[in-house]
Structure 1
Amino acid sequence: MVHFLVTVAYRPTEKTEARRTRTRATIVRAATELVAHGGYREAQVAAVARRAGVATGTVYRHFPSKAELLTEVFRVASQREVDAVAEAVADAAAARAPERLVAAVETFARRALRGRRLAWALLAEPVDPAVEAERLQFRRAYAQVFERAIADGVAAGELPDQDAAFTATALVGAIGEALVGPLSPGAHPDPDALVGALITFCLRSTTDQELSLHVHRRTA
């Protein structure tokens, strides 16, 4: 008599998949909190596991290496920041293009200044090459938000004719560079003065006139 062994592939149930998703999110949140407190060096796998309330092996089941974990931390944290800037521009949709750009710059800068250690990690802290690749994507995503606002402003006649993609990329690069020093450990920037200078720079870079705008202090 011949016996056949039938192997049935394991298929995770909705419940087990939901639990897996929750655990992964908990690990990423714990790692993000550690990075926000002390930078990437503080987010050691063992420390992340303790903060997340899971075994070290569980962290490795979800993220085979520390680099993969930190890449996911960067991706999630940076997307949250990009979404906040995009939302600020959308909220100002009824305003003229310069005001929408002000909303974008102010949201970008004030969120960074409120979460300085995490912002430093996102913008400037030396990182693994895999995380650096995400950093480039992060800047491109920011630039796309600015590009749409500038292009819409040009189309509406609210901004002078210009290469929206080039201007947006230059703005994001300049803003990020201008924030590096103030965000660095030990710095004590004046948030209002810094934000004001960034707004002035943005308006001078995209308009052909000096504008005096009331800056709404956002809490988002």
Structure 2
Amino acid sequence: MAYRETERGKARKAKTRQRILQATAELVDESGFGLVQMGQIAGRAGIAAGTLYRYFASKEALFADYFRLATEQEVRQVAAALQQPGPSSERMEAGLRVFARRALLKPRTAWALIAEPVDPAVDEQRLLYRQRYARLFEQVISFGMESGELPPQDARLTSTAMVGALAEALVGPLAEPLTDHDATIDHIIAFCLAGLTRKEYPR
């Protein structure tokens, strides 16, 4: 008879997997990807190192899965801000502000997600992460052009440029403790919106 996993067994495995991912999140928040070892993760999760490898074949696989889950949460927050009622420029400002504020509230984690050198498997997730933001921004820009609020432009290029500018502009502030996050956020948003609302674009 073929082995059938019980619902209790599935729930136990899911709980253990969640503990592993939570331990990874805590350690990345403390020191970034580079210093975290599998033994540390196993210890923090309260399991043996061998058990850890039953759930994730390698550190790269674990980090990639953690990255995907962590960024999904961030993307949801920005998407909610972009869906608020109002003009497209205000919706874009709200989304940019949520992205920047959440990053500066947890600088170590944000640095790991945005800019820390990582393995190819994690870097692939980072590319997808940026593409998801770009698609969200593109939708808002396209709507703004259709309504006549925003000038004609290549919505895909603009959205991609905004994601890049936002991420790169945060690299410095994330590496240095700041007391005035609002001024930094306002400056970044002003730059992005200036490019978005220009009246003329090269053709």
TM-score (norm 2): 0.94
CA drift at 1:189? 6.2
Q: Distance in 2 between matches of 1:62 and 1:170?
A: 37
Partner of 2:186: helix, strand, or coil? helix
Gaps of 5+ in 2: none
Residues 110-158 of structure 1, C-alpha deviations (whole Å, 9 max, x = no match): 0000010000000111101111111111100111111111111111111
Gaps of 5+ in 1: 1-7, 210-220
- Out of 84, 95, 103, the residue aligned to residue 94 of structure 2 is 103
Name 1:192's counterpart in structure 2: 182
Is residue 69 of structure 1 aligned with residue 62 of structure 2?
yes
* More off after superposition, 148-157 vs 117-126: 148-157
Asked if structure 1 preserves the Cα contact closer than 8 Å seen for 2:64 and 2:122, the reply is yes
- Out of 26, 37, 48, the residue aligned to residue 19 of structure 2 is 26
Name 2:29's counterpart in structure 1: 36
- Out of 34, 49, 55, the residue aligned to residue 48 of structure 2 is 55
Whichever structure has more helix as a proportion of its residues is: 2
Q: Distance in 2 between matches of 1:68 and 1:25?
A: 15
Name 2:39's counterpart in structure 1: 46
Q: Distance in 1 between matches of 2:109 and 2:179?
A: 16
Partner of 2:34: helix, strand, or coil? helix
Partner of 1:40: helix, strand, or coil? coil
Is residue 85 of structure 1 aligned with residue 75 of structure 2?
no
Asked if structure 1 preserves the Cα contact closer than 8 Å seen for 2:28 and 2:109, the reply is yes
Residue identity matched to 1:203: L
The list of structure 1 runs, each at least 4 consecutive aligned residues, that deviate by more than 4 angstroms after superposition, is none
Name 1:165's counterpart in structure 2: 156
Aligned-residue RMSD, C-alpha = 1.3
Is residue 120 of structure 1 aligned with residue 107 of structure 2?
no
CA drift at 1:188? 3.0
Residues 151-203 of structure 1, C-alpha deviations (whole Å, 9 max, x = no match): 1111111111111111000000011000111112x443631111101111121
Number of residues of Structure 1 aligned to a counterpart in Structure 2: 199
Q: Distance in 1 between matches of 2:2 and 2:161?
A: 51
Q: Distance in 2 between matches of 1:26 and 1:42?
A: 19
Asked if structure 1 preserves the Cα contact closer than 8 Å seen for 2:165 and 2:192, the reply is no
CA drift at 1:42? 3.4
Q: Distance in 1 between matches of 2:86 and 2:70?
A: 28
Q: What percent identity do the matched residue pairs reach? A: 48
Partner of 1:10: helix, strand, or coil? coil
- Out of 4, 10, 14, the residue aligned to residue 7 of structure 2 is 14
| Larger CA Rg, structure 1 vs 2 | 1
